[in-house]
Amino acid sequence: MSFLTGKSALVTGGGTGAGRAISLRFAREGANVAVNYSRSRKEAEETVSEIEKLGVRGIAVQANVAEDGAVREMVNKVAGDLGGIDILVNNAGATQFVALDDLEGLTDEAWHVPMSVNVMGTFYCSRAAIPKMKANGGGQIVNVSSIAGIIGRGSSIAYCASKAAVNSLTKSLAISQAPEIRVNAVAPGIILTRWVEGKEEFVQDNLDQTPLRKVCTPEDVADAVFGLIASNLVTGQILTVDGGRSL
């Protein structure tokens, strides 16, 4: 029996990519999983179907994580349906591709998208879930960040800044919510998801600069998230999963 058996997890952006892999990994370990989605309803419901085939409960719940009211409503529903929240994975993310040297192309919208979803969304979900976790005796939060927040290279300057903020938020929450709640982050390199479809040159450029000559799969991220949750003395850490790209 896994230590996750009977636990309840909420995974934002859980219907596709890394979020789907994380959701299914939790389900295989015996956790009940709430799969959040913003627009990908079909994919979220398909993920829930796969979760339920594993013999645990799964629910799909819609919410734009950049909207505080929608997040609070989502968290209340998940806690009510699954008997609380033990684990939150802030995986939902957004970006717009803007070349790093194209400063004029970095419009207010190009800033607003990653900052509202990646930073405020992570904060809103964490703030809403923390009281539910404490009511259950404690819990864990894992934020899916990016090496872009460490090395300053990525899909845009705004995206890099947003992920650096997520890393900082991870540390601040780890300090402020201890000892009841552990907070960590996973910082992958490029993940092979629909985000990079049609951007073969971007992927190859990163691959050429990666010592292991590999890019992340969604399952690589899921393994890292699971590892952080399993490590009882780890909090406030940013675990890079990038094949050495950030070295």
Strands (E) in the chain, as ranges, are 8-11, 32-37, 58-62, 87-90, 139-144, 181-188, 238-241
CB-based contacts of 28, cutoff 8 Å, min separation 6: 54
Is 124 a catalytic site residue? no
d(CA 44, CA 59): 9
Structure tokens at 235: 């909090």
Q: Which of 26, 37, 124, 159 is catalytic?
A: 159
Q: Could you give the 3-state DSSP secondary structure of residue 234?
A: coil
**Region at 6 (left for phi over 0; alpha for psi -120 to 50; beta for the rest):** left
| Residue 52: how many other CB atoms lie within 10 Å | 15
How many angstroms separate the CA atoms of 221 and 117, rounded?
A: 19
Burial of 114 (C-beta count, 10 Å sphere; 0-12/13-18/19+): buried
The DSSP-derived string for 138-156 is -EEEEEE--THHHHS-SS-
Which residues are the active-site residues?
A: 159
